[in-house]
């Protein structure tokens, strides 16, 4: 059975008439939407990265306020927010646009925020072997806003610190200052 048929059956199980004007093409639209929302399953960070080896730059590189959208694996409801990612090179750097691409690859999968944070940090650590990696995600979750506790203003922050960011308080403080925290 294809996805569009499954979506049609889901809508019918909710009590909808999938032949009515507003829903006739919904199974196709949802299928197209899911292809984009879950496109991260078909991508790997190493396939999109351009790594520049032999670089002498050894100061902190930070890309902050990276917007992301993901879907909670528990309720298949959206969560969204901003990622702040930093690393200290150890002879390798990547193009600046590649940091948001890594965030996007992992965000475009069914996720929980904790795993998403860790996957971004682990990926950078594995591909670059930097002196340190820091990732902070701040997000709002529809599963907390539209169901369950129904708290509209609550947000969740998660962090993954590796290397110097974990061991050295001054390095961690510099990162927090650079991202405005």
- Cα gap 57→51, rounded to integer Å: 13
104 is catalytic: no
84 a catalytic residue? no
Catalytic residue from among 74, 114, 126, 129: 74
Catalytic residue among 16, 43, 138, 143: 143
Strands of the chain (E only): list them.
Answer: 51-53, 61-72, 78-88, 92-94, 110-111, 132-141, 156-163
> Which position among 4, 16, 43, 75 bears the catalytic label?
75
Catalytic residue among 73, 114, 126, 129: 73
Catalytic residue among 84, 104, 113, 119: 113
Phi then psi for residue 113, to 5 deg, are: -65, -35
For residue 67, the cross-strand partners are 82
- Annotated catalytic, 169? no
Q: Is 141 a catalytic residue?
A: yes
Catalytic residue check, 67: no
Residue 129 catalytic?
no
Q: Which of 84, 104, 141, 174 is flagged as catalytic?
A: 141
**Residue found under tokens 């670059």:** 128
Active site residues: 72-75, 113, 141, 143
């Amino acid at each position: 059975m294809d996805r569009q048929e499954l979506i049609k059956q889901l809508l019918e199980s909710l009590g909808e008439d999938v032949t009515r004007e507003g829903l006739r093409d919904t199974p196709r639209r949802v299928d197209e939407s899911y292809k984009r929302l879950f496109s991260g399953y078909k991508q790997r960070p190493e396939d999109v990265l351009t790594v520049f080896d032999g670089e002498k730059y050894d100061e902190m590189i930070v890309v902050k306020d990276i917007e992301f959208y993901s879907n909670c694996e528990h309720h298949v409801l959206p969560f969204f927010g901003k990622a702040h990612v930093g690393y200290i090179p150890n002879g390798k750097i990547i193009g600046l646009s590649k940091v948001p691409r890594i965030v996007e690859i992992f965000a475009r999968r069914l996720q929980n925020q904790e795993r998403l944070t860790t996957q971004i940090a682990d990926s950078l650590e594995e591909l670059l072997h930097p002196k340190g990696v820091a990732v902070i995600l701040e997000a709002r979750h529809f599963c907390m806003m539209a169901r369950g506790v129904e708290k509209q203003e609550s947000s969740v922050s998660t962090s993954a610190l590796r290397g110097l960011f974990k061991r050295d308080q001054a390095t961690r403080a510099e990162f927090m200052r650079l991202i405005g925290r």
